[in-house]
Structure 1
């Protein structure tokens, strides 16, 4: 890596918090933007168009046309410069620009030359990423084309906000479902009492030969029994094992998603990423709220500070307690380790920019964001480390019981 001074937006902490608020699964949105990336490439007359979101460590390509790309390090990206702008960012020739001409996309086989990017800005003026167009040939975009690209960028942000709204609605529906189950719990007791009473009266009625009374009480019994069966159906959902919904993971799906998103980073640096789960609890569902942001930043940080040939191990488990289930996450690396002073800074919400094992220059906010998100979820984080031998992050997050 070169010794460039990488750009950081002046509002970087707020920007990262905003991106985490959207709580995006970076591996699941390509279809949402396929038409817009195709349109952007057509408007610009370029071979390639990308929708990129940039977190503390990584540029995630969540929509693409003309190039199969999922991610790259933030240090390698051109869009890291675009998110520092209020309007646009253009590089007429990437091969002639010392900031970019050593990066993989400038050399063969891609041999990209032209870049033009527009920030993806929310209503508070925070740039969470960029819409960009690229080409192997040199280009000049007219003012009209530039304005059309900005309109497309606005529509991309509208879709991101719609995605977030849908997630919130799904959460509200889940809350409504939980309320329905609570009601069912509340009515089971009285209904069971009615059934028990009607059974006693029925027996007494038979001995007294009150035929009409018996028939009437049998009707009450039948109706009450039906309500009790209905309550049981509501409580059980008729499923012994509930599959994860749109806002949920189980341990198996959580592991698969982390491998999908972060194994390429580890492989690129020749690091082994192991993710283990408790097989006895692999199908128990829990909220996915902010889990990708928390775990993603921890894994990316571990990749940054672990030398090639090293190992990162993630252990995932659920512990059942009376008041709440606890999701336990352990991220351990064989990296350079951190000092007691640095651990104190992380746990109090602040850590400075540091250099990775391959010369990667950090942006200084990833672990602060992790601590902030864990605190908001009423969780706890514990850190142990030994210089030169690695670091272990232990996370405990309470989960609402289903």
Structure 2
């Protein structure tokens, strides 16, 4: 436990690093897990079941049954306590538990009473979330029901790992296609030169009366044309492809960020906007770790920006002859940070502090961003001073 009895696992940094390695897109997982939440309610006889993933700032509900819930601040959740050990966490009556009795989902009419949660252990000792069942009535689960619930939790973990494995395979396939395109591009120029030269020799050598030589020149010309047509076909096919599963373009990236973080901004009455820099809007780029990097920066900005403030995200893609560079900028009108804090963020040793409305600090969100950017050979810069807001800029090189 940490200050103010905030439940933080001792291995929190390793936990969120493991979660970031899964590179989950919380906007499109429901169809893969909806059947398991339905099964959990049927097995236990409870009204509600949720599969929750918990990052540095937010509890994300990737599938639900019996309640329409997509996210909530981590500090308001019950599942944050389930992360603390490898054992189930049970609260028979939340209305008489000081940790939860004042929460909106308990003290409202028809509020919740019962909670039973199982940690989702993705690796030894590393819990990334919880499978939980809830009810408006005080309940008790039999050992048989608990055993079945444990099997469902294990299935959730296996599916998460399978989704991650498929993403890795898609990434390898995309790399293969990119290599094919590069090879086609690289050989197109020399092939065109060979074809042109063979045609020139053929035209000038027609009067030499050397049939054997002319036959060889014709073979070179024919082979060169065939290879050139193949290269053109490969490049043409690539241009017509839709986005691969492991790719974003700027409009899709913007759509994801708005869907994920607009609800958080609305809670604090913040003006949250995402802008696209003109040009290259439809050029694909790898989505690897982008939601984790941008999401942590946006959540941090929301946390430290007072009510009716502003958080603005700018996304851009710069294409040069030898590089493709993705630019992510997050500006806020928040409380700002001093020079020492900026330095700690840059070196990946950011410390947690409470937000403008007393939001609990769980730490490591900005440290995670620093580690991820470094791993992707990118660069992060921070501009801020106390009372004047903060500007984060991330530059990430992308494969051409």
TM range (shorter): over 0.9
Alignment of 1:249-264 (within 5 A): 249-264=248-263
Q: For 2:148, what is the secondary structure of its paired residue? A: helix
Distance 1:119 1:278 in 2: 41
> Which deviates more from structure 2 when the two are superposed, residues 103-112 or residues 186-195?
186-195
1:68 maps to what in 2? 68
The question of 1:168 aligning with 2:171 is answered no
Contact 1:114–1:137 (8 Å) recurs in 2: yes
1:283 maps to what in 2? 282
1:362 maps to what in 2? 361
1:53 maps to what in 2? 53
CA positional deviation for 1:364? 1.3
Distance 2:134 2:55 in 1: 21
Distance 2:4 2:138 in 1: 25
Unpaired stretches in structure 1, ≥5 consecutive residues: none
Q: For 1:237, what is the secondary structure of its paired residue? A: helix
Contact 1:243–1:285 (8 Å) recurs in 2: no
Distance 2:233 2:130 in 1: 48
Contact 2:40–2:149 (8 Å) recurs in 1: yes
1:308 maps to what in 2? 307
Q: How many residues align?
A: 398
Alignment of 1:176-187 (within 5 A): 176-187=176-187
2:40 maps to what in 1? 40
Distance 1:238 1:17 in 2: 34
The question of 1:22 aligning with 2:48 is answered no
Q: For 1:252, what is the secondary structure of its paired residue? A: helix
Unpaired stretches in structure 2, ≥5 consecutive residues: none
Distance 1:157 1:385 in 2: 40
Distance 2:198 2:93 in 1: 86
Distance 1:353 1:196 in 2: 65
Deviations, residues 171-222 of structure 1 (Å, cap 9, x unaligned): 1111111222233244435533442343234324644677898678656534
Contact 1:311–1:334 (8 Å) recurs in 2: yes
Distance 2:373 2:110 in 1: 40
1:341 maps to what in 2? 340
Distance 2:36 2:162 in 1: 15
Change (3 A) 1:298 1:186: closer
After TM superposition, the score normalised by the length of structure 2 is 0.94
After TM superposition, the score normalised by the length of structure 1 is 0.93
Contact 1:86–1:119 (8 Å) recurs in 2: yes
Deviations, residues 55-97 of structure 1 (Å, cap 9, x unaligned): 0000000111111111000000000000102110001011111
Contact 1:121–1:157 (8 Å) recurs in 2: yes
CA positional deviation for 1:104? 1.8
Distance 2:326 2:143 in 1: 52
Distance 1:152 1:303 in 2: 35
Contact 2:339–2:385 (8 Å) recurs in 1: no
Q: For 1:360, what is the secondary structure of its paired residue? A: coil
2:224 maps to what in 1? 224
Contact 1:4–1:99 (8 Å) recurs in 2: no
Contact 2:48–2:135 (8 Å) recurs in 1: yes
Contact 1:205–1:211 (8 Å) recurs in 2: no
Contact 2:280–2:318 (8 Å) recurs in 1: no
Distance 1:33 1:375 in 2: 33
Distance 2:316 2:38 in 1: 42
1:93 maps to what in 2? 93
Distance 2:376 2:236 in 1: 27
Distance 1:200 1:320 in 2: 37
Q: For 2:307, what is the secondary structure of its paired residue? A: coil
